[in-house]
Chain A
């Protein structure tokens, strides 16, 4: 992950951090990055991030799972036809239970992998200075690029600490 110069502000209150993010957006700074110990609703709203694509990934996984379930049950029953108790070789109502389980399994797996990959790509593409406090009791807001107005803006929002990151 390439380091980027910028201004990092540390906040103790999520509302103050959210104010800083909104002020940065209002000042024309679209690229605002943040780290926090919990997904505080006011911060997540202020960040105005695009909706995660995980829904699409999970849906694709679920559809793939459904197809796999149908292939497994219908495909193998047709390939190895054994009549059991006079029931049809393709007993769709009974097979649907398996199809449902495989749908959920593959959908769940793609959801989990999608989250891990999305988080990994986010970390790789967008530099955010690491600080253990951001996992414990503080919120970090990082504005790439250095300008005095950015520093002022963060201080005015109530930052405890504002520093340059080289």
Chain B
């Protein structure tokens, strides 16, 4: 087959793979959507209990004013980080393996932020006052406190959502245009909406290329700032176990670890269910699993530093709180966290584990559990075991909080499942660019 024909053939096969993912959904997809909706219903009912009857339906008390809801918030912000890492940071580093996986990761980012953003509002107890965090002229002559990390959070999360959504939309434009011209009726109009008039002219690509580069350049410091701001929610206070300058890098590394693990956890079933094995190959998963291993080592180093510094500091509330975290009421959760985030990923040093879908899935699922527990340990154990014994307390999550957590998973997966069936989950244009490049390389080698 001559090179031109082979290139066109390869581009057609990429189109076909992407179009196949957009076929009418099967029973399995319907069942998953139904399950997600059921989880949302559980979450909505649980939230309604808090709205109707107050925060007594949570396990929050004095001194533990933050619990599962704030844990969920930090967890989902962390999940959202992988998309930007894979699409923006790896783009700037010209890492080619990102091409097949970044679209799903970007979508995960947007849905992760949409989920995370709900929690501060739910946690308020009176969500109808959520707008008080926004700066607006009012009759009370009050202005929000710009020195508060909670206000920084509102700005950081909103900005992150807007930039991630625009980044996703910019990447989708050429792919939606390719699918638009091959579809009809309502679906065609839907794709046309996302294509925004795209026709693939060199003029359009010229602007698109520059804009995409600037998005990547903006998103890179933004992603670091967002989780740093989330960590400052804790670190700016003087609560032992929270008040640490280590928190921003530690949180960013943890966010990337949890996010990339979630990407792998989702990609393994997706590539099989949507028959994308030809586009999302084992090599892509192998590279992502190395990223999990690297960030896991950084997180392990952070845990060790946090503990060693506290232990060497002599008798201090910091030391007591960290020892309480490892040996107190929630000690099984602490050691499960260590298992999930530090020990489990070490198996990724073995090529056999990285090459096994089951092994990789198990390690990454364990990391997801470990990262949720990490946030729970940080939030709860520090508040339970404050500076003076008079101020100590206990926290037990209640059903409403667990229901809302279940609902958040339903909410995230509902949007993600819709995305998989309505929009291309791989970047068609970038895969075509790579296909042409690869064919020319192969032809040059053959010659």
Contacts and interface: CB of A to CB of B under 8 A. Distances in A.
Interface string B202-228: 111111111100110010011001000
Contacts of A128: 199, 201
Interface in A112-139: 112, 114-116, 118-120, 122-123, 126, 128, 130, 132, 134-138
B77 to A, nearest CB: 14
Interface string B1-30: 001110111011001000000000000000
Residue of B141, B155, B196 ringed by the most chain A CB atoms within 10 A: B155
B143 A80 contact: yes
B359 interface: no
Interface in A11-30: 11-16
A130 B163 contact: no
A114 B211 contact: yes
A98 interface: yes
Contacts of A160: 4
Nearest to B141: A80
A147 interface: no
Overall SS of chain A's interface: helix
B163 A104 contact: yes
A130 B170 contact: no
B207 A114 contact: yes
Interface stretch (B103-111, B259-267, B342-350, B425-433): B425-433
B4 A16 contact: yes
Residue of B159, B166, B429 ringed by the most chain A CB atoms within 10 A: B159
B135 A37 contact: no
B5 to A, nearest CB: 6
B146 A73 contact: yes
A7 interface: no
B152 A35 contact: no
Nearest to B7: A13
A130 B199 contact: yes
B226 to A, nearest CB: 9
B80 to A, nearest CB: 15
17 contacts: A14-B7, A37-B432, A39-B205, A44-B205, A52-B207, A55-B210, A72-B135, A87-B147, A104-B159, A108-B163, A108-B215, A123-B197, A134-B199, A135-B177, A137-B8, A137-B9, A137-B432
Given A76-B146, A104-B221, 15 more contacts: A14-B7, A33-B201, A33-B202, A35-B201, A52-B209, A54-B211, A54-B214, A97-B152, A97-B155, A115-B210, A119-B196, A119-B198, A120-B197, A126-B203, A137-B432
